[in-house]
Amino acid sequence: MNIQLPKLRKISAKNNRKKILLLSDDLKFHSGIATVSRELIIGTASKYDWVQLAAAMKHPDHAKRVDLSDGVNKEAGIEDSYVIQYCHTGYGNPDVLRELIQLESPDLILMITDPRFFGFVFQMEHEIRTHYKIPIAYLNIWDQCAPFPYWNSSFYAACDLLMAINKGTKVANQEVLRHFGYKCSDIDKTDLREGTLLSYVPHGSTQKYYYKQTPNSPDWAEYQRFKTEFQKTHDVDFVVLFNNRNIRRKQPGDVILAFKRFCDKLPKEKAKRCALFMKTSVMDENGTDLISVKKAICPNYKVIFNDELVGVNILNWFYNLADVVFYMSSAEGFGLAANEGLMCGTMLLAPVTGGLQDQMRFEDENGGWLEFSKDFTSNHRGKYQNHGEWAVPIWPKARQLQGSIPTPYIFDDVSDAEDAANQLLKIYELGKDERDRRGLEGQKWVLGTESGMNAQAMTDKFAKCVDELFKTWHPPTKYELIKTEPFKQIEDNGIQW
């Protein structure tokens, strides 16, 4: 790896904290994984020391060692954090991981993102857990609970702690492990500590940066100037915000089509005062050419593009400016923009899929927050209709079984642009005061104790899980006798018809 070492810095001898080696997107960057990595580190820097294998596709600082301790100290309001990055193009390989273990002597290896990027870690799990005596934790997500991803069984079994970002993922973790005879324990529901520990740890944005603008806000005057200038420049008073990547599963073309059909349903003078604000790249090889889509599909209505790299304070203004955050994803593990919008008191319009349905807070027969199980893996058919006032659901019209060699099967939930347009019209007809009221109900919920969908709750739950792992984990034996048995036929794949 040829790591460039800087001058040594003095570390307090009083620091007896456990050290976590994190494999994820570089926390200095702006992907959803990078954002979550940053929140976890800042939120727990007083409790753990952190080392990150900071990944990027073509990292500009490849092989450099970066000390972020001073910056984290300032952000977290502490004095003795230890946050070191080893920048790398890609998520690493066995030699890089061994080198980092030798250099930093971590007490835990933590992974965040798609399991296919960490195949080398899973293949090394016996060496990591028995030779180095380091447990493995994985903050993991699966866009669809069912069909259960049985091909992930060896990945899940290689982990000592699985923290699921959405409720369906936790069910998938449990059912896949149990099918192949691996022991697992839901630490949210039982005192047993057998096999892999499971827990639900949803993402959460920070109230420090995402909040409802009021006259008491520190940047209220600047926001008012921004809002006035935006409305004057574009002559609008109803704004639909799309803040996602321009990639196929986010369906940006359908977003434009749905906005067009929504405007068609309004009188011309009112339609002229509506805008679709797309915070995304206008052209991406993983998505499409949105300028061409706009010209052909929506030539007569206002679609505003912003592909600039902006600070979180500007993103906060975007969410506050918007009347609704709009998703049409065919698969969505969580939906970080939805959470950021709710933190700002902005309503959500989205398909009932993946982790987005968690954020809608569908209710069961007793008014409780809907839970999933192996017998009920998704609410996409609308079995349960009651949900949080802040959310307006789009019920998928169809499901497509997609697949590839590394990911043989997964459902895409296909929503209809006409249905989305009708739901958007309902939000428009609520009026601004009612939209604001409902949005604030969403803000209250994500900041409350039930959802766990704010940065403080996320980091607290994460620390609770990690501490439980440290307290109960023992290195496995170097050798294990396994009785071979015929392949167990899959009888229940979790699919609901």
Give the per-residue pLDDT at 3. 55
Q: Where are the alpha helices (DSSP H) in 265-379?
A: 268-271, 290-297, 312-321, 336-343, 356-360
Residue type, 73: N
> Which 8-state DSSP code applies to residue 311?
-
**Cα–Cα distance measured from residue 116 to residue 153, given in angstroms and rounded to the nearest whole number:** 12
Give the per-residue pLDDT at 4. 56
Q: Minimal CA–CA distance to 315: which of 236, 255, 222, 243?
A: 243
Give the per-residue pLDDT at 2. 57
Give the per-residue pLDDT at 481. 82
- Name every residue whose Cβ is closer than 8 Å to that of residue 69 and which is 6 or more positions away in sequence: 9, 81, 82, 83, 84
List the chain residues with pLDDT less than 50: 6-8, 10-14
Give the per-residue pLDDT at 1. 54
C-alpha distances in angstroms, 286 versus 247, 248, 362? 5, 7, 32
Residue type, 2: N
Give the per-residue pLDDT at 13. 41
**Cα–Cα distance measured from residue 443 to residue 339, given in angstroms and rounded to the nearest whole number:** 9
Q: Minimal CA–CA distance to 249: which of 181, 307, 332?
A: 332
Give the per-residue pLDDT at 479. 84
Per the document, the length of the chain is 497
Q: Minimal CA–CA distance to 369: which of 347, 344, 391, 343?
A: 391
Give the per-residue pLDDT at 480. 80
Strand order, beta sheet including 302-306: 302-306, 274-279, 238-243, 324-326, 347-351, 391-394
What radius of gyration, in Å, describes the C-alpha atoms of the chain? 23
Give the per-residue pLDDT at 334. 96
Q: Are 51 and 100 in contact (CB under 8 A)?
A: yes
Q: What's the whole-model pTM score? A: 0.94
